[in-house]
């Protein structure tokens, strides 16, 4: 390959490399302010090393491989450059700190997850004694039932395609339902409303855009299965169905997401020992 073609290929590789660095510099106002100066500085370094880098190339390699080789050498020059190191010192520290935060957030999620599992066990123990819903829960859904606004709206709770409502044959009231809704009609809608809201509050920080549909969908499915089998199921049966469904789902999530070595700073062995009763009731 003639030298002039190698020179042209080298300049093309330098242009692509500089453009890639530019995208990195645009992520920070401080770096962007130094871009013009740095771009000129690095192009000068690349030109100073052009002859040496080209001399190392295998003339019989394909263009794509030659570009990779040139880019690797330019990367080495970039990392060794004092000006670049000074400019990137703050950015690299930010990256390290961001990585620390991500690891802490990851562990916090798992600690919250096991806390929720332990709460569900407590709730099940209470519900089995008919002691889960407190007086304030009953006051909440009684106030909801007696609300003045939208009195014909029979819906107590809506989420994840599930609707909890009291039985009604009112045509106007039924218009509040969407075609895609799975309706759970029961005279214990208020109790389920209070249960779902309690679990929603407890799961804050555990649920996200991706898993909340599975979480609330599981609640709705668990209750609806009981009602389909026994339309006269009482309040306690429905609450227990919701709690047992979530207990099973959290068990599945544990197998799906938590593996040995997953945690970063939390002592995994101590966490497993502490939460053994919640995991294996």
Contact 111, 278 (CB under 8 A): no
Q: Is the dihedral of CA 119, 122, 127, 133 positive or negative?
A: negative
User: In a 3-state reduction of DSSP, which class is residue 206?
Assistant: coil
**115 pLDDT exceeds 50?**
yes
Exposure string for 212-239, b = 16+ CB within 10 A, e = fewer: eeebbbbbbbbbbebbeeeeebebbbbb
How much of the chain, in percent, has pLDDT values that exceed 70? 90
Which of 62-71, 220-229, 240-249, 259-268 shows the lowest mean pLDDT across its residues? 259-268
Q: Please say if the pLDDT value at position 148 is more than 80.
A: no
Q: Decide if 192 contacts 223 (C-beta within 8 A).
A: yes
Distance of CA 77 to the CA centre of its chain: 38
Distance separating alpha carbons of residues 192 and 220, to the nearest angstrom: 10
Contacts of 110 (CB under 8 A, 6+ apart): 258, 262, 263, 266, 271
Bridge partners, residue 164, by sequence? 157, 184
pLDDT at 142 over 70: no
Average pLDDT of 55-77?
Answer: 87
Question: Between residues 19 and 136, which one has the greater pLDDT?
Answer: 19
Q: Is the pLDDT of residue 180 over 60?
A: yes
Is the pLDDT at 145 greater than 70? The verdict is no
Apex CA 178: angle with CA 183 and CA 224, to 5°?
15
User: How sure is the predictor about 151, in pLDDT bands with cuts at 50, 70 and 90?
Assistant: low
Greater pLDDT, 274 or 17: 17
Instruction: Assess contact for 238 and 145: CB atoms under 8 A.
Output: no
Antiparallel, parallel or unpaired: β 162-165 and 155-159: antiparallel
How far is it, in rounded angstroms, from Cα 193 to Cα 198? 9
Tokens of 162: 């599930």
**Residue 281 pLDDT more than 70?**
no
3 state DSSP class of 249? helix
User: What pLDDT shows up at residue 218?
Assistant: 93
Residue 268 tokens, joined? 């995994």
CB 276 within 8 Å of CB 268: no
Q: Which of 91-95, 117-121, 155-159, 179-183 has the lowest mean pLDDT?
A: 179-183
Least confident of 75-89, 141-155, 222-236: 141-155
Categorize the per-residue pLDDT at 78 as very low, low, confident or very high, splitting at 50, 70 and 90: very high
pLDDT given at position 2: 47
Whether residue 261 is predicted with pLDDT greater than 60 in this model: the reply is yes
In Å, how far are 91, 102, 133, 261 from 96, measured between CA atoms? 9, 10, 46, 20
Rounded Cα–Cα distance for residues 217 and 195 (Å): 14
Residue 279's pLDDT is what? 60
DSSP 22-66: HHHHTT-HHHHHTHHHHHHHHHHHHHHTHHHHHHTS-TTS-HHHH
pLDDT reading at 74 higher than 90: yes
Query: In terms of pTM, does the model score above 0.85?
Result: no
State the Cα–Cα distance between residues 26 and 21, nearest whole angstrom: 9
DSSP 132: S
């Amino acid at each position: 390959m003639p030298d002039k073609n190698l020179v042209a290929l080298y300049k093309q590789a330098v242009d692509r490399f500089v453009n890639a660095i530019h995208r990195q510099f645009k992520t920070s106002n401080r770096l962007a302010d130094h871009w013009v100066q740095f771009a000129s500085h690095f192009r000068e370094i690349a030109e100073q090393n052009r002859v040496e880098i080209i001399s190392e190339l295998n003339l019989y390699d394909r263009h794509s491989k030659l570009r990779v080789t040139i880019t690797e050498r330019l990367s080495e020059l970039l990392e060794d450059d004092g000006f670049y190191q000074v400019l990137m010192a703050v950015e690299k520290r930010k990256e390290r700190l961001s990585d620390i935060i991500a690891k802490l957030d990851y562990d916090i999620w798992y600690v919250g997850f096991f806390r929720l599992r332990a709460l569900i066990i407590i709730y099940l123990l209470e519900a089995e004694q008919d002691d889960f819903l407190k007086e304030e829960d009953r006051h909440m859904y009684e106030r909801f039932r007696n609300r003045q606004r939208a009195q014909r709206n029979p819906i107590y709770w809506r989420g994840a395609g599930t609707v909890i409502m009291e039985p009604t044959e009112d045509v106007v009231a039924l218009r509040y339902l969407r075609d895609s809704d799975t309706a759970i009609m029961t005279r214990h809608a208020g109790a389920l409303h209070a249960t779902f809201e309690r679990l929603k509050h407890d799961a804050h920080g555990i649920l996200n855009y991706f898993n909340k549909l599975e979480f609330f969908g599981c609640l709705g499915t668990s209750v609806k299965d009981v009602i389909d089998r026994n339309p006269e199921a009482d309040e306690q049966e429905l609450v227990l169905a919701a709690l047992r469904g979530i207990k099973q789902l959290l068990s599945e999530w544990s197998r799906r997401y938590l593996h040995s070595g997953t945690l970063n700073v939390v002592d995994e062995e101590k966490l497993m020992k502490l939460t053994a009763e919640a995991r294996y009731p």
